[in-house]
Amino acid sequence: MAVLPREKTRMLFVGKVALGGGAPIPVQSMLTTSTRDIEGSLQQIIALEEVGCEIVRVAVESKRDLESFASICAGSPLPVVADIHFDYRLAIEAAKKGAAKLRINPGNIGSIDKVDAVIDAAGEAGIPVRIGVNSGSLEERVKTLESMNLATKMVVSVDFYAEHFKSRGFKDMVLSAKASDVNTTIEVYRMLSKSIPDFPLHLGVTEAGTTWQGSIRSAVGIGTLLAEGIGDTFRVSLTAEPEEEIRVSRALLATLNLGALDTATLISCPTCSRCKVDLIGMANQVEKRLATVKKPLKVAVMGCVVNGPGEAAEADIGVACGQGTGAIFAHGEVLYTVPEDHIIDALFNELQKLL
């Protein structure tokens, strides 16, 4: 089998979480609480951990955030990334305060000597740096060039900064070049995986939108790249609660069979006139209850015998519905039949035996 791009990248660690070099793909989110709200921030981190988050990002906007940032790092069960924009001194101090990784856009940090100061601080702390580039933080030489499209400008900018970091002996880099346009995002990361194959890539469609639209755009953009073997970590960026970002991320990984080994999957058929039960309501209830199941099991909710045990034979447990009834089955074999109002409890009684 051919070696995938993500298997060729350098492995590094964000806290104790391996990233790159073919390691399982960790999913990330960012806190929405004020960094100065230590208790609220830690509670949100715990909530994120419960739904499967592995790395969390925290904004450090001013010097007033630094002490509380240190407390968050000290109390967090997840490695904490310091999200820094504009003021390089905040990155230096965050590295000293316990950040497991720094996230900067070198293009908006300022002069190269300020970038160098951040490199030195990260090296001294022994932590990686995520080099981010977007349309607003391109390297100066390419900003106004009409001969390049945005994707090429972003790749050239990332390459410039990556080469500079390497010239200073710093190699624990994660690279990102996210765009709000899905096609641009895919193009950029395909180019990066070929032009700079040694360093892990952080994927994402930035400003993706609300849960509905953002999930679709992220699934297309991030999912396409992951399916091609590109990408070592990612964040699904949604205008929603951060826990929702992780639920979508986990579902994306599970769909591609990419290491989400603690996620249950719902298989359900499209409803039609043959269906004689409330299939939509039933599927929604099962999906909600499955969110707490931490095992790679497949549960099928099928509206009729046409889409029943046969088509869903791969499911660990399932139901094929009839006229107000449901046949509970396991791996295609019918176990027993129950009335409609007992279907969900029966499903989870059988599922409990597999946990």
**pLDDT tens digits along 204-235:** 998 878 999 999 999 999 999 999 999 999 99
- B/e letters for 107-144, b = 16+ CB within 10 Å, e = fewer, are bbbeeeebbebbbebbbebebbbbbbbbbebbbeebee
Structure confidence at residue 1 (pLDDT)? 66
Give the helix/strand (H/E) hosting 121: helix 112-125
Residue segments in the chain with a per-residue pLDDT below the cut of 50:
none
Question: Cα 312 from chain centroid?
Answer: 28
C-alpha span between 195 and 199 (Å, rounded)? 10
How many CB atoms within 10 Å of residue 145?
Answer: 12
Domain 5-255 has CATH 3.40.30.10: no
- B/e letters for 278-308, b = 16+ CB within 10 Å, e = fewer, are ebeebbeebbebbbebeeebbbbbbbbeebb
Please report, as a single letter, which amino acid is at residue 307: N
Structure confidence at residue 261 (pLDDT)? 60
C-alpha span between 219 and 334 (Å, rounded)? 34
Structure confidence at residue 229 (pLDDT)? 97
C-alpha span between 281 and 311 (Å, rounded)? 21
Sorted by where each begins, the domain ranges of the chain are: 5-255, 265-352
C-alpha span between 294 and 253 (Å, rounded)? 14
Structure confidence at residue 93 (pLDDT)? 97
What does CATH list as the number for 265-352? 3.30.413.10
Q: Which residues contact 298 (CB under 8 A, 6 or more apart)?
A: 264, 265, 267, 314, 315, 316
How is residue 140 annotated by DSSP? G
How is residue 11 annotated by DSSP? P
Structure confidence at residue 207 (pLDDT)? 82
Do 91 and 67 contact (CB within 8 A), yes or no? no
pTM (2 d.p.): 0.89
**pLDDT tens digits along 280-315:** 999 999 988 888 888 888 899 988 876 667 777 788
C-alpha span between 191 and 93 (Å, rounded)? 34
Please report, as a single letter, which amino acid is at residue 118: V
- How do 55-59 and 80-83 pair as beta strands? parallel
Structure confidence at residue 225 (pLDDT)? 98
C-alpha span between 71 and 336 (Å, rounded)? 54
Structure confidence at residue 291 (pLDDT)? 80
